[in-house]
Amino acid sequence: MTTGSHEIRGGDYVHGGSASSSLKESLKKIGVEPADIRRAMIAAYEAEMNVVIHAHNGRMHYVIEDGRLEVEVIDEGPGIPDIDQAMQEGFSTAPPEARDFGFGAGMGLPNIKKNTDRLAIESLVGQGTQVRFTVFLRSQGETGASRTALKIISQACTGCLNCLRVCPTGALRVRNNRPIVLEHLCINCPACVQACTTGALRMATTESEPKARKGACLVVSDSFLTQFGPGISTQQVIKVLSEMGFSELHILEEWKKALRKACILYARENTRLRPVISPLCVAVVNLIQTRFPSLLPHLAPFLSPVEAVRSELGSRALVLSVTCPCQYAAALASASCKDIDVVSVVGLRGAVMRRLATLPREPQHAVEDKPIQAAPADSPSLLEVSGIRHVLRVLEEVENGLLGDVDVLEPCSCDQGCFGSPLFPEDAFVSRHRLAQGHVPQDPLAKAVERTTPLTARPGMRLDADMSQAIDKLARIDALHKALPGTNCGLCGAPSCLAFAEDVVMGRADRRDCARGPHDTERTP
């Protein structure tokens, strides 16, 4: 956590901006993406100069933590009688002196709003004004997952090393019973969360119940509806959710269906590359960016369902109940998060359970006869693959050109798709079966949203920016790997001897961390 606090002197135009300059230095030192520094600077400077122009004195206080910048600018001054009026573009009460310097265009507060993700203004006439804003920050060079969405509780780690073995990209290290995530490799899939038996690795959301409020839309996954046992139908759950006090309820299944339709249509119109890969699971998209960048052209150019919801409903306040770290990161990753609250299913489930306890049990009955539809003659061949191990193998097959007979591939990192999220108590197969029996109402707003910014490979995989250095490092990794025992025991804290060799060459580990195997010195018998 980084903090800073600076005085602002009213009327001091020459020194105005020094607080913003100091904030900029902190952001640069942390390595924040330049575009986010830019937004923060516009907002900070406008807020700081507002104090210089209008108030007697003031203070800027900032906190940088958890990928967020929170700034507070408080002043003692005349205050703002009508904040809505002050927010209007072109409205200004700046004195002539300020206008000489080019201020007074009436764009200050609108500029702050435009460049921040949250803004709150409070003011008392005759006392002063308080401006508080939030800017979500990304690290320089990040693509896709803005931050690893995992929470690590080291005290709970027992060093069992389960997580090391299940991570599909080898992003985990365990040193002295402390799990460490290499962010450039982490794809935000829940494999380690699932494997950890002591709760040392968790999703970053809180598990408290979401607060219902008017004007906010609740978004839940379809798999959430079947988490309440055989005595509760999906209709009952939907009823309870609809009566919790939110304005709208959206269920992700409709958005997943829309995405599937869009991918099938896209495959029909683009016959060159096979298979077309559906961006249904954000963790798989991250995996492709990290380990299979040659498959980026195969990805259908749409947003995942969670991102589509955020894009289409972003003007409303959203409460998103996510089932895995990748959805959490996708929901919050963006320059314009607006009013989005991300909650884990655990809290929401608790809230629903309490309300269900007061209702009579109503087991699931088939809503209508669902005839088994024979696939029409020209339907595309659509392959669903779930479970990260299967996804890895299938993506390798795609790379080797062995899956050309499949039109659309739908890969999910959890078993049976989101049904297999480790946050759900119910078994994935059971849960999926129950949903097929139940009925989800149609959502007229559900649609597939086209991706406007193309996906790129993650730069973090490169050994070195300089090609010749990279080749040299590769040779050293290879040589060291041959000298290691090759048992992948994990005692060094790395998932494999190859990963350890890379850690050593890249300066992340010491050669002597390997407790086994030949060393430079003589082995003691």
Partner 1 sequence: MKLSELVSKIGGRILTHANKATEVDIQRIYAGDTISEILNAASNTTLLVTNMSHNLLPRIAQLMDVPAICLVNGAVPGSDTLTLAEQRGTILVISPVDLFETCGRLYLCFDGSFKPSP
Q: Is 398 in the site for partner 1 (CB under 8 A)?
A: no
Q: Using CB under 8 A, which of 57, 93, 111, 140 touches partner 1?
A: 111
Sign of CA dihedral 19, 24, 26, 27: positive
Q: Which of 410, 391, 481 is nearest to 169 (CA)?
A: 391
Q: Given 39, 48, 50, 147, which residue is catalytic?
A: 50
CA dihedral 223, 227, 231, 235 (to 10 degrees): -40
Q: Is 17 in the site for partner 1 (CB under 8 A)?
A: yes
Q: Is 36 in the site for partner 1 (CB under 8 A)?
A: no
Q: Is 107 in the site for partner 1 (CB under 8 A)?
A: yes
Tokens 């009213």 belong to 10
Q: Is 502 in the site for partner 1 (CB under 8 A)?
A: no
Least CB distance to partner 1 at residue 142 (A):
19
> Candidates 106-114, 203-211, 229-237, 278-286 — which segment interacts with partner 1 by CB under 8 A?
106-114
Q: Which is nearer to partner 1, 100 or 450 (CB)?
A: 100
Kindly state the tokens that stand for 384: 């669903």
How far apart CA 209 and CA 344 sit, in angstroms, is: 9
How far apart CA 383 and CA 385 sit, in angstroms, is: 6
Q: Is 38 in the site for partner 1 (CB under 8 A)?
A: yes
Determine the size of the site formed for partner 1 (CB under 8 A). Answer: 24
Q: Is 42 in the site for partner 1 (CB under 8 A)?
A: yes
Q: Is 101 in the site for partner 1 (CB under 8 A)?
A: yes
| Active-site residue, 508 included | no
| Active-site residue, 72 included | no
| Active-site residue, 57 included | no
User: Going by C-beta distance under 8 Å and a sequence separation of 6 or more, which residues neighbour residue 22?
Assistant: 4, 6
In a 10 Å sphere around its CB, with 0-12 CB exposed, 13-18 middle and 19+ buried, how is residue 19 labelled?
A: buried
Q: Please name every residue paired with 7 in a beta bridge, in sequence order, or none if there are none.
A: 59
Q: Which of 230, 177, 461 is nearest to 362 (CA)?
A: 230
Q: Is 108 in the site for partner 1 (CB under 8 A)?
A: yes
Whether omega for the bond prior to residue 275 falls within 30 degrees of 0, making it cis, is yes
Q: Please name every residue paired with 376 in a beta bridge, in sequence order, or none if there are none.
A: none
How far apart CA 185 and CA 148 sit, in angstroms, is: 10
Q: Using CB under 8 A, which of 8, 16, 129, 263 touches partner 1?
A: 16
Write out the E strands in 387-427. 408-412
Q: Given 7, 89, 97, 99, which residue is catalytic?
A: 99
**Helices marked H in 31-61 — which ranges?**
34-54
Q: Is 100 in the site for partner 1 (CB under 8 A)?
A: yes
Q: Which is nearer to partner 1, 46 or 503 (CB)?
A: 46
Cβ-contact 453, 248 below 8 angstroms: no
Length of the chain: 525
Q: Which is nearer to partner 1, 13 or 244 (CB)?
A: 13
Q: Is 90 in the site for partner 1 (CB under 8 A)?
A: no
Least CB distance to partner 1 at residue 17 (A):
5
Q: Is 104 in the site for partner 1 (CB under 8 A)?
A: yes
Q: Is 295 in the site for partner 1 (CB under 8 A)?
A: no
Q: Is 347 in the site for partner 1 (CB under 8 A)?
A: no
Kindly state the tokens that stand for 155: 């005290």
Least CB distance to partner 1 at residue 22 (A):
11
Report CA 141 to chain centroid distance, whole Å. Answer: 16
User: Going by C-beta distance under 8 Å and a sequence separation of 6 or more, which residues neighbour residue 102?
Assistant: none
Q: Is 13 in the site for partner 1 (CB under 8 A)?
A: yes
Q: Which is nearer to partner 1, 23 or 306 (CB)?
A: 23
Whether omega for the bond prior to residue 371 falls within 30 degrees of 0, making it cis, is no
Q: Which is nearer to partner 1, 41 or 340 (CB)?
A: 41
Q: Which of 167, 137, 153 is nearest to 23 (CA)?
A: 137
Least CB distance to partner 1 at residue 139 (A):
18
> Candidates 18-26, 172-180, 237-245, 301-309 — which segment interacts with partner 1 by CB under 8 A?
18-26
Q: Which is nearer to partner 1, 99 or 261 (CB)?
A: 99
Q: Which residues bind partner 1 (CB under 8 A)?
A: 13-14, 16-17, 20-21, 24, 34, 38, 41-42, 45-46, 49, 100-105, 107-108, 111, 114
Q: Which positions are annotated as active-site residues?
A: 46, 50, 99
